[in-house]
Structures are given as C-alpha cells and as structure tokens.
Amino acid sequence: MEKPHVKLRTKDRDHLESLISKGKLSAKVFKRATALLELDRGKTLTAVAETLGVNRVTVMAWRDKYKEQGLKSLEDAPRSGRPPEISGRQRAKITALACSEPPEGHARWNLRLLADKIVELEYCERISHTQVAKILKKTS
C-alpha cells in the first residue's frame, strides 16, 4: 500500500465522520469530507475521484486546501460580489409607494411611473423600471 495522500489528525477524522453520519450536509461538503477520509484511509487520488464522480485534479485541490487550511477547506471561501444597491429600507419604501394611491391623471401605478417617482422622492439615485418589477415581485 502507498503512503497516504493525507494524514488527518484524530480530531479532524472524528469531526468528518460525525459530519457524514449526520446526513445534513450540502453535496459539495459531503464530497470533500468523504474525499479526505478516503485519502486518509490510503485510497489513491484516482480511486477517490472515480468514487465521487469528480476529476482527479479536483481531489488533489481538496487535499492541498486541507493541508493549508484544515477543516475550513470544506466550505467555499466567501465570494466577492456586487453589493446590493438598494437597501431593505428602500425596498420597503418602494413597496409602500406602489401600494399607495397613484398620482392624479393615472388610474394605477405602472413600473416606469414608479421608477420616476422613486428617483423624484430621492429614495435612491437611480432605478430602472425592471428593478422596480423585481423588487415588487419579491414582495408579492
């Protein structure tokens, strides 16, 4: 038998086994935990990859990440993303405006009218009618 690709600490092995036995994991965490346990048991990278239905390089990446970060490697790193431009408070104001009486000369609010009024009332600097539609769709 070859030298194991990963040598888990006893505490880490116990934690991974308890995670897997609970059955309340996302698929990616389950696969990563299983891969680490299998590598610790002496399985080859190729065998683990075939068992989990992933590429051998993926298993190597999980192994290397575990060596660097420990059990933190099970979860994805937070991703930077574009922060929301419209806060919850602004969304509430937009929803309240849509539920209010329409301006004179209009039977009801339409999305473009709402978008114009939102900017006029300075709820936000700019907003498109499609953004207004998305906000209202989430609240209905």
**What are the tens digits of pLDDT across the range 29-78?**
999 999 999 999 999 999 999 999 999 999 999 999 999 999 999 988 88
- Which of the four pLDDT bands, split at 50, 70 and 90, describes residue 134? very high
Residue in 140, 114, 133, 126 with CA at minimum distance from that of residue 86 = 126
Q: Whole-prediction pTM value?
A: 0.58
14 and 59 in a common domain: yes
63 and 14 in a common domain: yes
Where in the sequence is the domain holding 123, given as residue range(s)?
88-139
Mean pLDDT along residues 115-138: 93
Answer whether 117's CB lies under 8 Å from 138's CB: no
Q: How many domains does the chain have?
A: 2
103 and 56 in a common domain: no
Write the pLDDT tens digit of every residue in 4-25: 678 899 999 999 999 999 878 8
Neighbour tally for 106: CB within 10 Å: 10
Mean pLDDT along residues 73-102: 89
- Residue 46 inside a domain? The answer is yes
Under DSSP, the state recorded for 111 is H
